[in-house]
Amino acid sequence: MSIAPRICDGQGHRVERQDAAHRICGAAETLLVDRGCARHHLAPLVRMLLDAGCEVRGDEPTRRADERVKPATELDWAEEYLDAIIAVRVVDGVDAAIEHIRRYGSQHTECIVTADAAAAERFLERVDSAIVLHNASTQFADGGEFGMGAEIGISTDSFTRAAPSASNNSPATSTGPRQRQVRGG
């Protein structure tokens, strides 16, 4: 198995709620916000993160949302901070988010938060990562949540359906060559 830095991306698509999480393994390092929901959700979300003590680094639309946001650099989009820091970018839809993740992600854990079933399906089918989540915390990848014992979240290798990669009570479902979808409530 190969070991990769743990970069977790989250893509907000018509976000209904967001929770700030920091200083923990499995916290998101990058938040991609759909331009369609940024008008209503970006400023409150950024404010909550900043008020919780998280440093926010962002693109131009994110910096306009709050003067405390620091400018993001190209390096920020692929960084694993291991600290209370998050990079925030506004993207033009789910396809732009998928492209961002393809370019900068570590293929570890990716998540979409949306009530739009079609956008979620597109994301789950097209993102190439070990764990792809819909409306579930990226912290889900840390520990025995898959019913397979201790830490499993540090490998980005793919397991085929034929491999004994999930227990019978695993919440992961197979929709392709790997066990990779988890849906939250």
If you average pLDDT over residues 144-157, what whole number do you get? 57
Report the half-sphere exposure of 170 (CA within 13 A, side-chain side). Answer: 18
Q: Is residue 3 part of a domain?
A: no
Instruction: Classify residue 173 by its DSSP letter.
Output: E
H-state helical runs in the chain: 35-51, 60-65, 94-104, 117-126
Question: Domain total for the chain?
Answer: 1
Domain containing 107 equals: 8-15+22-183
Q: How confident is the model at residue 28 (pLDDT cuts 50, 70, 90)?
A: confident
Q: Is residue 1 part of a domain?
A: no
170/84: higher pLDDT: 84
Q: Tell me how many degrees the CA angle 22-44-83 measures, rounded to the nearest 5.
A: 15
Name 46's Cβ contacts closer than 8 Å, sequence gap at least 6.
Answer: 56, 58, 62, 65, 66, 69, 88
Q: Is residue 165 part of a domain?
A: yes
Length of the chain: 185
The CATH number given to whatever domain includes residue 150 is: 3.40.309.10
Which tens digit of pLDDT belongs to each residue from 152-172?
A: 545 555 554 443 444 444 444
Q: How far apart are CA 140 and CA 182, in angstroms?
A: 9
If you average pLDDT over residues 17-40, what whole number do you get? 71
27/132: higher pLDDT: 132
Asked if pLDDT for residue 17 goes beyond 90, the answer is: no
Q: Are the C-beta atoms of 173 and 146 separated by less than 8 Å? A: no
Cβ-count burial of 105 within 10 angstroms (0-12 exposed, 13-18 middle, 19+ buried)? buried
Q: Is residue 59 part of a domain?
A: yes
Which tens digit of pLDDT belongs to each residue from 90-104?
A: 999 999 999 999 999
Asked if pLDDT for residue 177 goes beyond 70, the answer is: no
pLDDT at 90: 96
